Amino acid sequence: ILSPFNFTRRKTGPNDVTFKVAYCGICHTDLHLLRNEWLNSRYPLVPGHEIVGIVTEVGSKVDKFAVGERVGVGCMVNSCHNCESCEISAEQYCDGVVFTVNSTDVDGSVTCGGYSSLMVCDQKFVIKVPKTLPFDAAAPLLCAGITVYSPMKYFGMTEKGKRLGVVGLGGLGHMAVQFGKAFGMHVTVISTSSHKEKEAKEVLGADAFLISKDERQMKGASKSVNYIIDTVSADHPVPPLLNLLKANGKFVIVGSPSKPMEIPAHSVMIGRRLVTGSSIGGIKETQEMMDFCAEHNITCKIEKVSADYINTA
């Protein structure tokens, strides 16, 4: 149960940006950590890694940000800066990555997230939030947005006219649909919930909708898409989804089911299909994603709640 907790942030260092938190998204990862479902939670724990706010102070060596600017912090607040992953701007894969919540910071303290009033972060891990984006709806882009944008860019899921399948229409899925349409792709939403079809097509612009539990629908759509991005975190069968892929199709996992996925060999051998995965995205790419959203008027669909409603939410 979340309850009020007083703690002190570090003073603004030479490379730090301090900002007053305006909004913070609620991510399913917050629930994993609150409930210690990954067996590594350290209490007291302050969740939140989709954070936006207004800069109140900058360090003496900060040259990218100024007081009064709109900024954000996502899933990471530091890394080693020297390894191969850091050198190619893929800090999320650094062995020394410091996550925004429940991680050991450079000074040995446990990191506290954005369910708070103030944030202090190294400037290398701070993102500029364009003025044209709604401030509240921009916050979840720092996790949900980059988690689908990064693999879409890396695995070439950006070709105009190609066909993209999006499994699940939750926080990640509804972003993948919008990115796919912005890239000029034909987008099919694959869901267990028939009531989401109207939202998928009329609100988000999806071209087609499949009920994954409907064997006839799934069989009729066999070999119909070039790419699938699977955003579902609940356990679900993968082979029926792989059958939707054309030859040389790519299946990218960004959800994290609790049980191992079973993939029969013939499901990938026939058609030379690729099954792969991806985790969030680097800082350079996160800024690119944020700017892309501003350019194409893409935001998260949100419900805004106050802090005293957080346990119910």
Number of Cβ atoms within 10 Å of the Cβ of 288: 17
Contact 180, 166 (CB under 8 A): yes
Residue at 9: amino acid letter: R
254, β-bridge pairs:
none
pLDDT at 302: 96
What is the rounded (10 degree) CA torsion for 235, 236, 237, 240? Answer: -160
pLDDT (tens, 9 = 90+) of the chain, 313 residues, equals: 999 999 999 999 999 999 999 999 999 899 989 999 889 999 999 999 999 999 999 999 999 999 999 999 999 999 999 999 999 999 999 999 999 999 999 889 999 999 999 999 999 999 999 999 999 999 999 999 999 999 999 999 999 999 999 999 999 999 999 999 999 999 999 999 999 999 999 999 999 999 999 999 999 999 999 999 999 988 999 999 999 999 999 999 999 887 899 999 999 999 999 999 999 999 999 999 999 999 999 999 999 999 999 999 9
What are the tokens at 123?
A: 């400037």
Local structure of 278: helix, strand or coil: coil
**Domain definitions of the chain by residue range:** 16-142, 145-277
pLDDT at 258: 78
Local structure of 270: helix, strand or coil: coil
145-277: CATH number: 3.40.50.720
What are the tokens at 172?
A: 């990640």
Q: Which residues contact 259 (CB under 8 A, 6 or more apart)?
A: 235
CA separation for the pair 185, 163 (Å, rounded): 6
Instruction: Give the domain 16-142 fold.
Output: Quinone Oxidoreductase; Chain A, domain 1 (3.90.180)
pLDDT at 256: 84
CA separation for the pair 199, 179 (Å, rounded): 16
**DSSP string computed for 183-211:** TT-EEEEEES-GGGHHIIIIIT--SEEEE
